[in-house]
Amino acid sequence: MKVSYHGHSVVKIEVNGANVFIDPFITGNGTTDLETGKVKADFILLTHGHNDHVGDTVELAKANKSLVVAPFELATYLGWKGVNTHPMHIGGAHKFSFGTVKFTQAFHGSSFTEEENKNIVYTGMPAGILFKAEGKTIYHAGDTALFSDMKLIGELNDIDLAFLPIGDNFTMGPEDAALAAQWLKAKKVVPIHYNTFPVIEQDPSAFVEKVTGSTEGIVMNPGDSLTL
């Protein structure tokens, strides 16, 4: 499978003839290389309801007739907006045509802000994603603080590639993310959720230097890809 990074927390996985996007925040994302009108998304996976992760989901899903996989409350909210959804929740797994998705816990918030009427819509629990296909496992942590059950996730799963937030302020910072990488025992780890806004500016190369053991830290610039 081919995995590419597109700024902030946007990840694209090309597998089994499908284009799968995680947290497609494009409009308003100054770090992405993508243009909404040119994105072909067969499936969209969402970690939580914050605007910088839901991003362009509704527009993309309607234009591409995508299936959106999200935690139950967020899936329900998006379904009311005319999007085809598959609701899931933390601890549950489901096999799709492209591979298997399992939601893990994450320590964060989850709500969608409707700025036009100053309304905050609760969208359930935030989550991380374990993605399995073609004998490979990808872990996208979503937005989260460090939590000790990352050790359990690492023990129960042979993780080939992990995407971890390093921005600090809203999520783990570089030091905690480096410890998370150690606990997860992933073969490769890529930093995400940094430099999009001034408050989360970080040096990804400095984070990679903190990654120790058998895990390889990799800085992926928007548009970069790797093959698993």
pLDDT (average), residues 38-49: 98
Look at residue 188 in the predicted model and tell me its pLDDT.
98
**What is the per-residue pLDDT for 59?**
98
Say what the pLDDT of residue 74 is: 98
- Looking at residue 197, what DSSP letter applies? S
What letter represents residue 186's amino acid?
Answer: A
Question: pLDDT value at position 217?
Answer: 98
Whether the predicted model's global pTM rises above the 0.85 cut: yes
- For the chain, the residue count is 228
At 215, the pLDDT band (50, 70, 90 cuts) reads very high
Q: What Å distances lie between residue 125 and 17, 52, 75, 121, 149, CA to CA?
A: 31, 16, 12, 12, 16
Q: Are 36 and 59 in contact (CB under 8 A)?
A: yes
| Structure token digits, residue 1 | 């499978």
Q: What is the mean pLDDT of the chain?
A: 98
State pLDDT tens for residues 113-172. Answer: 999 999 999 999 999 999 999 999 999 999 999 999 999 999 999 999 999 999 999 999
> What pLDDT is recorded for position 104?
98
The total of other beta-carbon atoms located within 10 Å of residue 224's CB is: 14
pLDDT tens-digit readout, 95-128: 999 999 999 999 999 999 999 999 999 999 999 9
CB atoms within 10 A of CB 37: 10
Q: Which CATH number fits domain 2-219: 3.60.15.10, 3.40.605.10, 3.40.30.10, 3.30.9.10?
A: 3.60.15.10
Provide the pLDDT for residue 130: 98
